[in-house]
């Protein structure tokens, strides 16, 4: 699983600070900077939650946008759908893709890389394209 940690929070909150950190343990942070104060554990945890949400939403939007591009041709008014029902199914599918990020709780969503090197988004149900 790909994930962010305290070093990401520190880089976001204090981008020019001088510190070292081992793992994702607040007590392991060695603060070597007199120009910036060391963030509290609470500040780091809050920033980590924000960064994880932002990162996951970005990955979801990228996949969503790719799926929309792949299905663009089915939304064209002159695409030769065999029935209006199939045409409407494609339009509904595309609307579900556009809505997938609305009010999305990313807490349980995880991201990893599959055997082909592709990013895989887990614990998110994607709409199924019409057949």
One digit per residue, the tens of pLDDT, for the chain of length 131 reads 788 999 999 999 999 999 999 888 999 999 999 999 999 999 999 999 999 999 999 999 999 999 999 999 999 999 999 999 999 999 999 999 999 999 999 999 999 999 999 999 999 999 999 98
Annotated domain spans of the chain:
6-122
**What are all long-range contacts of 51-55, with beta carbons under 8 Å and residues at least 24 apart?**
51/4, 51/8, 51/9, 51/12, 52/3, 52/4, 52/106, 53/106, 55/4, 55/111
Cβ neighbour number for residue 97 with a 10 Å cutoff = 19
Global pTM reads 0.86
Cα–Cα nearest to 49, from 93, 106, 7, 101: 106
């Amino acid at each position: 699983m790909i994930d962010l940690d305290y070093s990401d929070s520190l880089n976001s909150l204090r981008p020019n600070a001088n510190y070292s950190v081992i793992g994702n343990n607040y007590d392991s942070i060695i603060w070597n900077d007199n120009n910036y104060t060391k963030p509290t554990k609470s500040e780091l945890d809050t920033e980590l939650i924000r960064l994880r949400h932002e990162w996951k939403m970005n990955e979801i939007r990228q996949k969503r946008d790719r799926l929309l591009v792949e299905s663009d041709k089915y939304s064209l008014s002159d695409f030769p759908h065999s029935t209006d029902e199939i045409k409407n199914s494609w339009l509904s599918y595309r609307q579900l893709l556009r809505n997938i990020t609305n009010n999305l709780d990313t807490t349980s969503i995880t991201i990893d890389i599959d055997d082909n090197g592709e990013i895989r988004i887990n614990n998110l149900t994607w709409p199924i394209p019409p057949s």
